Amino acid sequence: MKKKVLILILALLPLTAQARSVKLSDDSAVVTGKKSINKKVCTAHKQCITGLCLNGDCVRCDNTSKLCPEGKTCVAGVCKKQADCAQTSDCKAGYDCVGGACVMCASGDKGCNCGDAEADGHGGCLCAAGSFQYGGKCLKYCDYTTCLRGYEKVERDGSCCCKQILGGGGMEWGGEGRDES
């Protein structure tokens, strides 16, 4: 009699395990005896640490597939806001990339996307003599000065001038020249 009861219990054990299966809203858990298998099921990108939910699974992104939701970009397998950065050159001038975010530099800081200049502490750069700030970057005056034919650019006293090239090898200073061609 004990053998028959034991066989009957062993035969019905799988059926009782199926009856104890639990389905949760966001988690699917199958419980069989003492073992359980949990599988995370996502329905929206915001539920995933990686910021990307595909076919119910949280997945890592890659830069080639461009799968991140609108307004986000893939940084090291995780979808992040596009304002985030990977390096200082991704930020505006006067800002440094710290922990994936562009942070305004303090006055006098170097390496804040200002080239050789220092940050001004207001989201720009302190430009050296002979240069000016445009679009947050320091540009040299001479790089944006054009002289007429017969003149050449010369940097003098922190500014840029055009000087006339004379036929005998000498030079004469002139602010403007005429193109007589």
Total tally of structural domains belonging to the chain: 2
Q: How many residues are recorded in the chain?
A: 181
State how far the Cα of 75 lies from the Cα of 49, in Å rounded to an integer: 13
Model confidence pTM above 0.75: no
Residues 138 and 161 in one domain: no
Residues 150 and 135 in one domain: no
CA distances from 130 to 2, 46, 135, 156, 176 (A): 102, 50, 17, 9, 19
Structure tokens at 161: 């001038």
Q: Residue 180 pLDDT > 60, yes or no?
A: no
Residue 114: exposure state from Cβ atoms within 10 A (0-12, 13-18, ≥19): buried
- The 10s digit of each residue's pLDDT in 5-32 is 667 676 665 544 444 433 334 444 444 5
Range of the domain at 155: 145-173
- The 10s digit of each residue's pLDDT in 57-107 is 888 887 677 677 777 777 777 777 665 688 888 888 888 888 777 888 998
Residues 135 and 92 in one domain: yes
E strand or H helix at 81: strand 78-81
